[in-house]
Structure 1
């Protein structure tokens, strides 16, 4: 079963829901899609009753905007408690204390951030909303002297982004300060099947332009990434699954892996895979329809799927604007020029920057010999594609 909701549903997901004729909750977004794609829509009461009849069944939501509805209507499934366990980063850290007893974190009300005695906190540390999304409001603090400017940026961001997403998705009323997790960063789309076994559907490596960069500009997946890290990730998921009692549960987990192979979760996003349907890159890269794999409880045959994928990467390029760029001064974004700067763009998905604060995203297939195109866009402020008023 599936819930489709704002802000975005990809054509790929729409087609999947229509082809599978999977039961879809009838809401504003689903009704709009069904006028063109002929979904199998169920009224709220029917949808809830069917879940009761099925008992434990796979339920997927493309957007965290639907978490409020799940909390209000599906309490009998146990899902709201599990969602809260992951969406609330303080509860998540408390859950993991049995695995990581020495990990430092504390919660702070937004109004009290300026009262923090920053000199008493070990650095570097990360500060972010307790309930967050898309790296919004996330900052790294490496020295006492940086705290003033970080606090100023947080205040500016909170003013700009509050109201853009429901509080179940992004709540800037409370922040968490936690120790910086060392190592390379990864994001994983996975699900727990009906027996509680974790199934990895994709692993992205998240790369940054600098030491203090915490943006979402570039993620990529490749044969080497999957082969090098899948077993390590599966071992961690098994531990989390045991602690939280997860079955028929999709998630998107962000984590870091150190040079010593020690793995540490950053956060878990419940009920969905990579946001804004960016999980679709698994289909472009490996032919994996992540929605179908979860709903039909399929497992990838990685040996077969990775054949012929040597010396190339499949990249997700987020077209996020620099923090200091005033959205009101932007006239247009030159998507055609952007596409021309890449050897093999696979798909471009545009977004209304005035409404969502970024320009969209793109999938690319990039040969190792052409990696320079990714390094260039990673460091770009995108102003070469922007026309100003």
Structure 2
């Protein structure tokens, strides 16, 4: 069963739903987003009754905006509590703290942040909303001297993105302060099957332009990334699944792997793959399988066969967030054609209403070995070359 909500549903996901006749819950929101009457629509009442008959019914949602529907209508099931275990980063840290006993974290009310004695904190550290999305108000703080400046920045950012997402997606009343782990960051799409066994559907290397960068600009996946990390990631996921008692449960996981190979969890996003139908869709462009079908039919990718033909290729998700410093209200247009010319093999471009969501869109590309310069360029770009300002 599929639960669609704002801000975005891809044509690829809609096509998947249609071709497989997957049931879609006919909420008012989804009906305003998809006008195709030929889909397998089921009423909200029918969906609720199905869950009462079988609480383990597989459910996929494209967006965390749908969390409120689940909390309001499926409170009799374990889904709301499981979602909160992961959506609230403080609860998630509490869940797994005995498996990571030396990891420092601290939950703090937004109003209490200025009262903290920063000299008692261990730097460098990461500060972010306990319930957040899309690197909003996420900062790396390297020293005591930076602390007050970062708090001021957070206050300004909160004002800027107020109203973009519901409180179930971004809630800035509580923040988490946690230690910064050196290492490489990865994003994983996976699900737990009916027996509670994790199935990895994608592993993407989240690369940054600098040590201070916490943005979501570039994610890449490849044969080498999958082969190097899949086994250890499955072991880590098994720990999480056992602690939360997960079955028929999809998720998008973010981790950091240090130089010793140890996995350190960052966060887990429940009941979906990457937001805005990003990482869930790129598995098709990169590896020619459908992640949504894999979960709902309880299948597993045949990685040995798939990766035989993917040598020396990288498949990339580029998030075109507005880091230009130019207010959206002052932007006349974004030149997508010029953007496409800067990449040797674009696979798919998705434009977004940047005035509403402060992101210009998402670009999927394929990069051959030796052509990584295009990725490094967009990684450090402020995107101003593509922006036309209002006169």
TM-score bracket, normalised by the shorter chain, equals: over 0.9
1:335-346 aligned at under 5 Å gives the runs: 335-346=336-347
Q: 1:35 — aligned with what? A: 35
2:320, 2:361 within 8 Å by CA — same for their partners in 1? yes
1:68-114 deviation digits (Å, cap 9, x = unpaired): 11011112220001000001111000011110112111111112221
1:18, 1:37 within 8 Å by CA — same for their partners in 2? no
Q: 2:334 — aligned with what? A: 333
1:272-287 aligned at under 5 Å gives the runs: 272-279=272-279, 280-287=281-288
Q: Distance between the aligned counterparts of 1:330 and 1:267, measured in 2?
A: 33
Give the C-alpha shift of residue 38 in structure 1. 1.9
1:163-312 aligned at under 5 Å gives the runs: 163-279=163-279, 280-312=281-313
Q: Distance between the aligned counterparts of 1:199 and 1:168, measured in 2?
A: 27
1:124-168 deviation digits (Å, cap 9, x = unpaired): 000000000011110000011111221111011100112211111
2:324, 2:384 within 8 Å by CA — same for their partners in 1? no
Q: 1:100 — aligned with what? A: 100
Greater displacement, 183-192 / 314-323: 314-323
**Number of aligned residue pairs:** 389
1:251-307 deviation digits (Å, cap 9, x = unpaired): 000000111110010000000001100020110000121111100001010011112
Counterpart secondary structure, 1:306: helix
Give the C-alpha shift of residue 29 in structure 1. 3.8
Counterpart secondary structure, 1:91: helix
Q: Distance between the aligned counterparts of 2:126 and 2:38, measured in 1?
A: 45
Query: TM-score with structure 2 length normalisation?
Result: 0.98
Greater displacement, 184-193 / 108-117: 108-117
Give the C-alpha shift of residue 323 in structure 1. 6.6
Q: After TM superposition, what 4+ stretches of structure 1 lie above 4 angstroms from structure 2?
A: none
2:324, 2:382 within 8 Å by CA — same for their partners in 1? no
1:123-138 aligned at under 5 Å gives the runs: 123-138=123-138
Q: CA RMSD in A?
A: 1.1
1:342-381 aligned at under 5 Å gives the runs: 342-381=343-382
Q: Judging changes above 3 Å, is the alpha-carbon distance between structure 1 residues 334 and 356 closer, same or farther for their aligned structure 2 residues?
A: same
Give the C-alpha shift of residue 22 in structure 1. 1.2
Give the C-alpha shift of residue 10 in structure 1. 0.2
Unaligned ranges ≥5, structure 1: none
Counterpart secondary structure, 1:49: helix
2:196, 2:247 within 8 Å by CA — same for their partners in 1? yes
Q: 2:65 — aligned with what? A: 65
Query: TM-score with structure 1 length normalisation?
Result: 0.98
1:301-340 deviation digits (Å, cap 9, x = unpaired): 0011112111110000000111733222111100000000
1:71, 1:80 within 8 Å by CA — same for their partners in 2? yes
Q: Judging changes above 3 Å, is the alpha-carbon distance between structure 1 residues 341 and 37 closer, same or farther for their aligned structure 2 residues?
A: farther
